[in-house]
Amino acid sequence: MYTKLENMMGRFGTFIYDNPFKVILVVLALLAVPISYVPQIQGSEMSYINNINLHTIKKDYSGNKIQNGKFVEYVSQTKTIAEILKWKLESNIKDDEYSLDIIKNNKFLAQQDDFIVWLGHATFLIQVNGKRIITDPCLTSPIFTKRHTEIPLKIKDILPDYILISHGHFDHLDSSTIKYFNNATALVPLKMKKIIENMNSSIKIQEAGWYQQYSIDEEFNIYFLPALHWHRRTLFDTNEVLWGSFIIETPNKVIYFAGDTGYDTHFKEIGKLFDIDIAILPIGTYAPRWFMKDNHMNPKDAYKAFFDLRAKILIPKHFGTFDISNEPMGEPEEIIRKIMKPEQLKVLTIGKEILL
């Protein structure tokens, strides 16, 4: 018993020592216990919302379900505070020497042709018809999150035309990055407008519900689609902002950008709606499985999703940049390379563009 307790305290000590901010996390988590017991209003009406100014591509879809101000459709299971603490006390020893290759490079900014370049984690810069689209911009180290890769170019040089944000978690929406993107247009989920306005008031914002097409005057189309995930940026806003995924449909290519997501039936449905060439799918943040499975896919899930989407190429993301889960840093890439044929898989080097 003593050994077990001592072992647990030792892990707790390492957990705290590892990052002093985690002390704040523990205090906040304990504070959240009484806060999270807000009584639910019995019998309150379920309603459906969307952006009435946008076109909905799925017939008979009346919008995203919302109840008591919270999105309730396709929510991955919310974890209790006790489960979060149990996970945080589990071993997270990283003994692999893995690090992602990175090329310091900004020459692609002068590129005329369509291209895609990985900037790390879920952030990609995709150029279509001379317009720059950046996904889930997080190019610094947000609170509690140590960055393991450098970025290939200066954030201020990126100057995107469009910012696509799949959901509000800090590793996908980073205020220190967004503040550089003056006058861009942000294409975001329902109810995210206020968060972006507070980060950078010069950004134009369009919100969409699932199966809605953003209204952009371009030779390409962008649609917002489902994901199995959830939202929280503060203790008080759980699932008050929607989450999802994107299709970028260019004259030559159809690109699917999954947000964070568990594996589920939405991939099959999206695969029926679009003829996808490239699927950018998350393959990391899956351990411990008991905690992460509902929110994040492992490489095998990603391969199933790729199959369901009927995509031609998989570009993996959400690994190797931030240490936010317990699997070894190199494991997601090692597994995905084992289970996929080389012609199906394109693991990008950070900073090295590929033409579309």
Which one, 260 or 323, has the nearer CB to Zn ion? 260
User: Residue 34 is encoded by which pair of tokens?
Assistant: 């009484």
Which one, 169 or 253, has the nearer CB to Zn ion? 169
Residue window 310-349: x/- pattern of binding to Zn ion, with contact defined by CB under 5 A: ----------------------------------------
Q: Which residues share a beta bridge with 354? A: 116
Task: Determine which residue in the list 88, 169, 231, 266 makes contact with Zn ion, applying CB under 5 A.
Answer: 169
Which one, 254 or 324, has the nearer CB to Zn ion? 324
Which one, 127 or 245, has the nearer CB to Zn ion? 245
Q: How does DSSP assign 144-164, residue by residue?
A: T--B-S--SS-GGGT--SEEE
Which one, 207 or 260, has the nearer CB to Zn ion? 260
| Positive or negative torsion for Cα 338, 352, 309, 210 | positive
Which one, 54 or 258, has the nearer CB to Zn ion? 258
Residue 301 binds Zn ion, judged by CB under 5 A? no
Q: Return the range that interacts with Zn ion (CB under 5 A); candidates 39-47, 61-69, 257-265, 334-342.
A: 257-265
How many chain residues touch Zn ion (CB under 5 A)?
Answer: 3
Q: Return the range that interacts with Zn ion (CB under 5 A); candidates 16-24, 46-54, 255-263, 329-337.
A: 255-263
Residues 260-289 that bind Zn ion (CB under 5 A): 260
Residue 171 binds Zn ion, judged by CB under 5 A? yes
At which residue do the structure tokens 């523990």 appear?
A: 26
Radius of gyration of the chain (CA): 20
- For residues 96, 99, 100, 104, the Cα torsion angle rounded to the nearest 10 degrees is 180
Which residue from 25, 7, 51 is spatially nearest to 224, judged by alpha carbons?
51
Beta strands (DSSP E) in the chain are 46-49, 55-56, 64-67, 70-71, 115-120, 123-128, 131-135, 162-164, 185-189, 204-208, 212-213, 221-225, 245-249, 254-257, 278-282, 313-317, 354-355
CB of 123 to Zn ion, least distance (A): 11
Q: Return the range that interacts with Zn ion (CB under 5 A); candidates 53-61, 163-171, 273-281, 306-314.
A: 163-171
Q: Which residues bind Zn ion (CB under 5 A)?
A: 169, 171, 260
